[in-house]
Amino acid sequence: MRTLVWLLRALVFFTLFAFALNNGHDAVVRWFFGHEWRAPQVIIVLVAFAAGAAFGVLAMVPAWWRHRRAAQRAEPAATPAPEAPAVPYAAHQDGV
């Protein structure tokens, strides 16, 4: 199973690597007021992906904080489960 996972990871890596090599030509991103940004297309795609991922993480932060505060408030109310009585090691070997 581990070999299959590593093969899948290698396939994804080499697919993305081939994509990067095939899209190395310059592209232009036109902003407002005549500003432009020229960069290889793969860099533009990578920056767009990173910006989207960062925006998604930042959008989730308030919910994470809310859940964390709720968990901290509920933690003292929780009672620990009773521990099992300790059984000497020799008692386990009698039945074997």
Query: What residues does each domain of the chain span?
Result: 2-73
- Please state, in angstroms and rounded to a whole number, the distance separating the CA atoms of residues 87 and 89: 6
pLDDT in tens, 18-48: 888 887 789 898 989 989 999 988 888 889 9
Instruction: Name the residue among 42, 37, 35 with its Cα closest to residue 16.
Output: 42
pTM for the full predicted model: 0.56
pLDDT in tens, 3-16: 999 999 999 989 98
Q: Which two tokens stand for residue 47?
A: 């920056």
